[in-house]
């Protein structure tokens, strides 16, 4: 696959476990009571982006194009 962002030999599917762990870690952070409202909003944006990244990796692993879901 030419023009890929991945190092040679790195398959998108091999990154899925790390991407899922990232989502789980962010969700755990959101369960903490000590976050301010502003911090919670920022962490929620990170969570949305992590989920988009995961979906894009899944799509790439299936040979599909990644989505254009980017957080502005």
pLDDT one-digit tens code per residue, 11-63: 888 899 999 999 999 999 999 989 999 999 999 999 999 999 999 999 988 88
Q: Where are the domains of the chain?
A: 13-61
Residue (of 17, 16, 15, 42) closest to 29 by Cα position: 42
Cβ-Cβ contacts under 8 Å for 51 (sequence gap 6 or more): 23
**Spatial separation of the C-alpha atoms in residues 11 and 25, rounded to whole Å:** 23
Residue (of 68, 33, 71, 32) closest to 50 by Cα position: 71
Higher-pLDDT residue of 63, 8: 63
Confidence tier at 72 by pLDDT (50, 70, 90): very low
Start-to-end Cα distance in the chain: 28
pTM: 0.77
């Amino acid at each position: 696959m030419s023009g890929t962002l991945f190092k040679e030999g790195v398959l998108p599917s091999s990154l899925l476990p790390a991407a899922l762990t990232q989502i789980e870690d962010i969700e755990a952070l959101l369960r903490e009571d000590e976050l301010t409202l502003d911090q919670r909003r920022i962490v929620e944006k990170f969570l949305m982006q992590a989920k988009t990244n995961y979906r894009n990796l899944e799509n790439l692993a299936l040979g599909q194009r990644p989505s254009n879901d980017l957080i502005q």
